Amino acid sequence: MPDGQGLFVGGTSSNAGKSWMVTAICAWLRRRGVSVAPFKAQNMSNNSYPCAAGGEIGRAQVAQAEACGLEPEPAMNPILLKPTGHGRSQVVVNGRVWKTLAAREYYAAAGELRPHVMAAYADLATRFDVVVIEGAGSVSELNLRGHDLVNLGLVTSLDVPWIVVADIERGGVFASVVGTVQLLTARERELFRGFAINKFRGDLSLFDDGVRILEEKTSAPCLGVFPFAADVHLDAEDSLALETKRRTPPPPGARIAIVRLPHLSNATDFRLLTWADWIDAPPGADYEFVVLPGTKNTSDDLRWLHRTGLARWIAERHGAGATVVGVCGGFQMLGRRVADPAAVESIEPVTEGLSLLPAETVITESKRTEAVRARLPDGVTFGAYAIHAGRTEATEAGVQPFAVLENGSADGMRRARVIGTYLHGALENPDVCEHVFGVRPASDLKRASYDRLADWFETYARHVDRWGVPALKRTVA
């Protein structure tokens, strides 16, 4: 094993809280002066971010890097799968697009990809005292073990201790924990350190009997019963964790509907818009703003808008005075048509757009991935990032850009009550939100969330000194 010490955090299911637990452990260790880095061998997510030194990784590992006080880098997420539809995913290896593959083709490539995973982990492990490793989905998918790159196959290859997190909120916690342990191989069981119960609501002592039963059934310790943390806000790894109802009342004059596209990407763009409604069909309510987010398949999602009647509804809302905002793929949809001559995303060569902007987009095989600084017409400056395949050009004169980049080039387009931009992250800036929606969101609580997560972990974790990582023992000695 490399010089660093690893700890693997797996789950009994998707969205059990693995990302939260990894982020919490990272924040807690950093606060105690431990050099720590996050690692996830394989992500499947259309929420990604370009690293400053180049390459893109999943947003969950970006948040975890921030919790560690680190700049995100491709070694933290060497394989990123970005679903494009029709059972295929774009495969990003070490931050760069490698191939677009169907699931069976990807599994067949596991042997070719495994050295990239091992090299990335070894790189981090030689530079940090602890590498906190996140699994994917459930660790007990027996049919996937033969080509596993991210769960218990990785644990046994690296010879690292591991824990499993279960979500009590969704029910079935006894079956999921006991079943997971019973399905372990002898070697996996040898490296297993225990289970954590996540998202408990109410009096924790009410689950004391549950802890006793689970410990008896699994012969493993409970490493903590962790309460639901409503005051902590982190970037979601994928749309499974996306909230579809507003969390705060809408401000007057700024009611926002965000369209939940089938191939939605980078939903984190809208984390400050806590009053927005997510919609997937024409609603009965009126809105002052309609937002089209990013997508991994502009053409398919554009046809979905036409099929569902949302395209007509968006046009009607715009005609009634609403402002329509498109980000990345949503920007491409605002034009007159989207062409995909090389079938990069779709088998349809041309798709009719919403015709709210005099523009046309051609989807390209090459991909733009970069972090940028930009300036709005009112002087507001902000950081953002571009991750897209395609070129959008105006078909008429007189179209103004949304923003100007620091290199002097223009981004996006704007006309009366229509705004389009390729810049992800722009609306994560309160000043940009105020410019677009006329309302300034509440202060961003993201930084404070890392401290609260560290407190959450410290308060409710048990038996940390028995997790098998020397650096963890030092922190509780």
**Active-site residue set:** 328, 424
Q: Which of 369, 428, 383 is nearest to 74 (CA)?
A: 369
Rg (C-alpha) for the chain, rounded Å, is 23
Residue 240, token pair as written in the block:
């499974």
* Phi, psi values for residue 277, rounded to 5°: -100, 135
Q: Which of 376, 388, 468, 470 is nearest to 431 (CA)?
A: 376
Residue 319 burial (C-beta neighbours within 10 Å; 0-12, 13-18, 19+) = exposed
| φ/ψ bin of 130: left (φ > 0), alpha (ψ from -120 to 50), beta (otherwise) | beta
Residues counted in the chain:
477
Instruction: Name residue 295's beta-bridge partners.
Output: 264
What is the number of H-type helices and E-type strands within the chain? Answer: 14, 28
Residue with tokens 């969330």: 449
Q: Which helix (H) or strand (E) holds 413?
A: strand 413-415
| Helices marked H in 361-469 | 430-437, 446-460
Distance CA 310, CA 307 (A): 8
What count of other Cβ atoms lies within 10 Å of the Cβ of residue 438?
A: 14
| φ/ψ bin of 471: left (φ > 0), alpha (ψ from -120 to 50), beta (otherwise) | alpha
Distance CA 280, CA 323 (A): 18
